[in-house]
Structure 1
């Protein structure tokens, strides 16, 4: 099942903006050099190893450029890939293939990089019960694509934006005057606005965990930048009353130990802001 933010409209809007940026008033290289009636084909070549992502999006892009283009998918999203694999072939008007080429590659290379790193980190916490989450640390105007790649790689999406969940982070707490004040004000705000949003509270120490527990009326407690010893104690204090999420500076080397503290979720911003794209190429044949 696709995430709710992936609608026909949201995907179409993304592609329209991206094509407007890239194509402008025309792909003059292709229009100038290639006969308008030329028919050709190309294949998507894998030049690295990892998890493939963006095949479905590529179909949307090709159709947006030219509905007559024919895509033959050989490898689906989420497939483990290696050098030399062919993900799909596309055939039709040569000018159209060339116009779509760079947007397809830009999206798929980044998506495959994100999916690959997500898959790797998820494998490190397998069997612990903890679930891997992304964050809002995404590229502006590219969020739906990056979060889609996380899902393809086996992770889960956190909130999509500022509007679909309340997260009271350290600055919110400090500006509000404390944990209790921030939670109480939020509860009142949601009631006044008639909104039913989950509330997550970031805590930095056991005192803040205790104050959050005493205040109540929330859904998840974030344990931010805590040592594993402190995190284990926090999980014990919470005792399953609320969901728990570990966050802050979690790396490949530490993620397993964090998961073994008993948290429900681990959020890692590096899924979308610090990963290496997978090299792909669209070649005529």
Structure 2
């Protein structure tokens, strides 16, 4: 993806990202620091004077889209409440190799204590934002929206979902509590294997919901579309459909529900999927298989410190 495309996508992403809940960030970071230093950092406690101060720069080793500035700052302040953190690049902003992304000045032991947790999280978040931006750029000019899935790292969903927004994508349901999404296994149990019952059981289920609850149903064949639409669902997910089937499915739905495409979505296929006219393309790869972006923290002791 070119730097120009990344920058264009990042500009849109900055408006979409919103903010991270401070309580959620704090919970993740406290768990990370307890895991990494359950009884303190004995290396720094042995080698680094307690009063030593350091300055550290978070730097990019390659290009990407930044996400996690608040996380980086919170990690440093959790280890040293007096630390001064300057964010040099905003979340959702594209950067090149060699870019200084953030700078922290504080107690040297604190910086070293927070270093790994901060890097692990920001590297992963920025990788997700970068990958999302690549997908979003490939569907530019269509009305398809790129969304994530629940294929997130346990305990990190709030951070990873935020990173998707930093890349210009949107979020699917956050959890199983947020919306109804009936998949093939649900339908098999509901209908007892009798497809003729599909409309009836879905309509009865929808009637039990509050009027604000979104109702989505996954289908894996064209002949399921009409019975599902007859139940008055909000979104119909076309799962693992070919491009021809997706286009036919969009035409058959005819605006009676939102159409989501899922399955076999990657950087090579997403533009073709978007061109079929679907409204939403859900991509598990945004979160479940990214490789951490190469970011580094260059630490130097301040002049005159022990």
Shift of 1:76: 1.4
Find the partner of 1:213 among 225, 229, 239: 229
Question: Which stretch shows the higher mean deviation, 101-110 or 58-67?
Answer: 58-67
Describe the superposition over 1:29-82 as per-residue Cα deviations: whole angstroms up to 9, x where unpaired: 111211111111111111111111111211121122221000112111122122
Partner of 2:180: 166
Q: Pick from 236, 247, 271 the counterpart of residue 232 of structure 1.
A: 247
Match of 1:263, SS state, is coil
For the pair 1:141 / 2:155, whether they are aligned, the reply is yes
CA 1:223/1:190 → structure 2, altered by over 3 Å: closer, same or farther? same
* Separation in 2, partners of 1:87, 1:11: 19
Q: 1:246 maps to what in 2?
A: 261
CA distance in 1, matches of 2:266, 2:102: 34
Q: Look up the SS of the partner of 1:96 in the other structure.
A: helix
Aligned to 2:289: 274
Within a 5 Å distance, the mapping from 1:41-80 to structure 2 comes to 41-80=55-94
Paired residues in the alignment total: 281
Which position in structure 2 is the counterpart of 1:197? 213
Tell whether the 8 Å contact from 2:259 to 2:279 is kept in structure 1 after alignment.
yes
Rounded to whole Å, the distance in 2 between the matches of 1:33 and 1:91 is: 19
The 8 Å contact of residues 243 and 273 in structure 2, kept in 1 or not, is answered as: yes
Q: Distance in 1 between matches of 2:298 and 2:101?
A: 12
> What is the SS of the residue equivalent to 1:215?
coil
Verify the 8 A CA contact 2:161 2:171 in the aligned structure 1.
yes
Distance 1:98 1:173, change over 3 A: same
Gaps of 5+ in 2: 1-14, 301-306
> How far is 1:4 from its partner?
8.6
Question: Aligned equivalents of 1:189 and 1:17: distance in 2?
Answer: 39
Contact 1:53–1:78, Cα closer than 8 Å, also in 2: yes
TM-score, length basis structure 1: 0.93
Q: Distance in 1 between matches of 2:19 and 2:180?
A: 18
Label 1:258 to 1:143 Cα distance change in 2 as closer, same or farther (>3 A).
same
Quote the residue 1:186 is aligned against.
Answer: 205
Structural RMSD (CA): 1.8
Q: Cα deviations across residues 198-250 of structure 1 (Å, max 9, x unaligned)?
A: 0100011111111111222x211111111111111111111112111100111
CA contact (8 A) 1:172 1:182 kept: no
After TM superposition, give the deviation of residue 8 of structure 1 in Å: 2.2
Shift of 1:281: 0.8
Q: Distance in 2 between matches of 1:70 and 1:182?
A: 58
How far has the Cα of 1:184 moved from its partner?
Answer: 3.2
Distance 1:4 1:163 in 2: 22
Match for residue 128 of structure 1 among 117, 129, 142: 142
Instruction: Check 1:4–1:119 CA distance in 2 against 1; reply closer, same or farther (3 A cut).
Output: closer
Q: Which runs of 5+ in 1 are unaligned?
A: none
Q: Give the direction of change, closer, same or farther, for the CA distance of 1:212–1:67 in structure 2 (3 Å limit).
A: same
Task: State the secondary structure of the residue aligned to 2:296.
Answer: strand
| TM-score, normalised with respect to structure 2 | 0.87
